[in-house]
A and B are shown apart, each in its own frame.
Chain A
Amino acid sequence: MSRIRYLAGAAAAVAVVAASASAGTMFRIEIGSPVALGVNKFFKKNDKKVVLAVRAVVCQDLANVRITGTAEGLVAGKRQSLPIMLAAVEPAEAIYAIHHQWPAEGAWVLHLKGACGNPRAEASTLVAVSKGTFIREKSEVLREPATKKQIEDAVAALARSQS
């Protein structure tokens, strides 16, 4: 009987640890309409098409969150990967704008990733883009780094939907 109690206690302790660990992974990278940036903030001297707004949330150290990204594409059956630039809008709040900077042809998914120092966590978001805008229902907000398979699947699914 005491062994069962011991096991139950251990299981409860594991559950508590797991729950507190998962609480730290609420960190994520959100995407939104450029409207979120407001005219005053997103007006830039060399303004180009802003496709979407990006921000990190649920991190106590947002000023040190750095979000990077690549455009993952499939153009005429050929897989391509391009680094993309994020324009800092409110760096202290980890808010960025992404301008159109990938080819117009083909199917493109933006792979955004970022890391939070406190609590320590990594997150990524896969954003399907088409004709200068993003497709929310085909985008995925992940509370962990995207795997290679997830990226490939997202690109393939978008390419299929466009064919």
Chain B
Amino acid sequence: MFTRHVDRSLSRYHDGDLPTAQRQRVEAHLTSCGRCRAALEEIEFSAKLVRQLTAVSAPPSVWNGIDAASAGSHRDVGRRFPLRWAAACAVVLVIVSSAYWWTRDSRVGPWEVAQTRDGISRRMTSGEWVDTVDGSEARIIVGALGTVAVAPGTRVRLGEITQSEYRLALAQGTISAEIVAPPRLFIVDTPASTVVDLGCAYTVTVGEDGAGQLRMTSGWAALEFKGRESLVPAGAICRTRPGAGPGTPFFEDAPAALKQAVDDFDEGTRREQALAVIIREARARDTLTLWHLLSRVDKSDRARVYDRIAAFEPPPAGVSRSQLLTLDADALRKWREELAWKW
């Protein structure tokens, strides 16, 4: 699809000078464009650097020089001082630019990993493995975004770091991530799915067979695999299976029967019975599970799922039953955003 980049509007966006409609367009674009997100980061970083500059008093010799020059002819002042100021500005500009490029490089440098067994913190590069199979623990510093705790018995490969992406691959074991960053900047690949951070804290576990589980402790994340996506908010769990991708998310505090039925449904065992249990046991909060099922059940069962969700929360204005039953993407998103007030 043709995409118009928004880099020309980013300075005004950063300063909060854009009208609401334009701001929303920029924000929408930023969610899917790594290039513009990186450009915004550079603007933010430069602005931060400028804010950190402190005013320093000039030494007395400078003021003496100014006084002496002031005593001279006005024509001399007009000729010499602009040159001096220009030179001073150029020096400041060079210092600021150097500082920016120096620190900018360090931001996208190698990973920093602290392993608790030897207590040593070391720099590791993309492609290296953090291995705690010996029973040790480790902590990975994800730039300025946050940290990832690596539990004993885990293998994680450090991926590429770019301005728009930090990537890890979890082969086996458990990691707990705490990330404070714009959505989609931190990504964890697992054998069954990819965990895309949307501003959150979570724990991912991968077993020997490659199957795994995502447990959200705050915010929300998306699990993705070959176009299939599960959104998992805080308090919810989603399992993944190799080849099948992300399963159906459910809240940890959901009725036990519902949780078992979700597992059965995802594994394809007694699907019809499992769906009946989910529909029967669902609470208002479990519309999280039902909303995901809407696009995963057979067409003949879709109306039953729709009716159960609608009993808790009818679709918002402008969204029709027929749109939802035909899985109109925009209608599904609008309903999800309304249902999430109960999640």
Which residue of chain A lies nearest to B338 when distances are taken between CB atoms in the complex?
A: A36
Residue contact B31 to A39, C-beta cutoff 8 Å: yes
CB distance from A108 to the nearest CB of B (A): 14
Give the interface segment out of A3-11, A128-136, A148-156: A128-136
Name the interface residues of A17-62: CB closer than 8 Å to any CB of B.
30-51, 53, 55
* Per-position 1/0 for A108-143, Cβ under 8 A of B: 000000000000000000000001111011000000
Contact indicator A133/B235 (Cβ below 8 Å):
yes
Report whether A47 and B333 are in contact in the complex, using a CB–CB cutoff of 8 Å. Answer: no
Within 8 A of A (CB), among B278-317: 285
> Is there an interface contact between A136 and B218, defined as CB atoms closer than 8 Å?
no
Tell me if B217 and A133 are in contact (CB < 8 A). Answer: yes
Q: For residues 316 through 343 of chain B, which have their beta carbon under 8 Å from a beta carbon of chain A?
A: 333, 336-338, 340-343
> Contact size class for B?
35 or more
Q: Contacting B253 at CB < 8 Å: which of A33, A40, A137? A: A137
Within 8 A of A (CB), among B28-74: 28, 30-31, 40, 44
Give A100 to B198 CA distance when docked, in angstroms.
15
Compute how far the CA of A51 lies from the CA of B285 in the bound complex, rounded to whole angstroms. 17
Q: Is B200 on the interface with A (CB-CB < 8 A)? A: yes
Contact partners of B199 in chain A: CB under 8 A? 34, 42, 47-50
Are B218 and A133 within 8 A (Cβ)?
A: yes
Are B218 and A41 in touch, CB under 8 angstroms? no
Report the minimum CB–CB distance from A9 to chain B (whole Å): 39
Chain B residues numbered 216-233 whose CB sits less than 8 Å from any CB in chain A: 217-220, 231, 233
Give the docked Cα–Cα distance between A78 and B70 (Å).
Answer: 63
Give the residues in chain A near B343, CB-CB below 8 Å.
Answer: 32-33, 35-36
Q: How far is the CA of A79 from the CA of B343 in the complex (A)?
A: 30
Distance, CA A32 to CA B77, complexed state (A):
65
A40 adjacent to B218 (CB under 8 Å) = no
Question: Would you call A40 and B201 a contact (CB within 8 A)?
Answer: no
- Residues of B with C-beta under 8 A to A132: 201, 217-219, 234
B24 within 8 A of A: yes
| B233 & A34 in contact (Cβ 8 Å cutoff) | yes
Number of residues on chain A facing chain B (CB within 8 A): 31
Which of B83-91, B135-143, B178-186 sits within the interface? B178-186
Q: B residues within 8 A CB of A38? A: 333, 337
B13 interface hit (Cβ, 8 Å): yes
- The answer to whether residues A33 and B233 also contact, given A40-B27, A51-B218, A53-B340 and a CB cut-off of 8 A, is yes
Instruction: Give the distance in Å from the alpha carbon of A93 to the alpha carbon of B254 in the complex.
Output: 31
Q: State in angstroms the CA–CA spacing of A51 and B180 once bound together.
A: 12
Whether B341 and A40, one on each chain, are in contact in the complex, defined by CB atoms closer than 8 angstroms, is no
B122 interface residue per 8 A CB criterion: no
Residues of A within 8 A of B31 (CB): 39-40, 43
With contact pairs A30-B341, A132-B201, A133-B217 given, residues A45 and B44 touching in the complex (Cβ less than 8 Å): yes
Shortest CB-to-CB span from A17 to chain B, Å, is 31
Tell me which of A30, A38, A51 has the highest count of chain B C-beta atoms within 10 A of its own C-beta. Answer: A38
- Known A-B contacts A39-B183, A137-B253; the reply to A34 vs B341 at CB < 8 A is no
User: In the complex, A134→B233 CA distance in Å?
Assistant: 11
A47 to B336, CA, bound (A): 22
**Contact in complex: B180, A47 (CB < 8 Å):** yes
Q: A137 — which chain B residues lie within 8 A by C-beta?
A: 253
**Complex contacts, A37 vs chain B, CB 8 Å:** 337
Q: How far is the CA of A36 from the CA of B182 in the complex (A)?
A: 17
Nearest 10 CB-CB pairs, A to B? A132-B218, A32-B341, A36-B340, A35-B340, A133-B234, A33-B343, A33-B233, A133-B218, A40-B28, A33-B340
B positions within 8 Å CB-CB of A: 13-14, 24, 27-28, 30-31, 40, 44, 180-183, 198-201, 217-220, 231, 233-235, 253, 285, 333, 336-338, 340-343
List the interface of chain A (C-beta within 8 A of B): 30-51, 53, 55, 100, 131-134, 136-137
What are 26 A-B residue pairs whose CB atoms fall within 8 Å in the complex? Answer: A30-B341, A32-B342, A33-B233, A34-B220, A34-B233, A34-B234, A35-B231, A35-B336, A35-B340, A35-B343, A36-B338, A36-B343, A38-B333, A39-B183, A39-B198, A41-B27, A44-B182, A47-B182, A47-B183, A49-B201, A49-B219, A53-B340, A131-B201, A132-B201, A132-B234, A136-B235
Besides the contacts A35-B220, A50-B219, what 7 more A-B pairs have beta carbons closer than 8 Å?
A: A31-B341, A33-B341, A35-B343, A39-B31, A41-B27, A45-B13, A132-B217
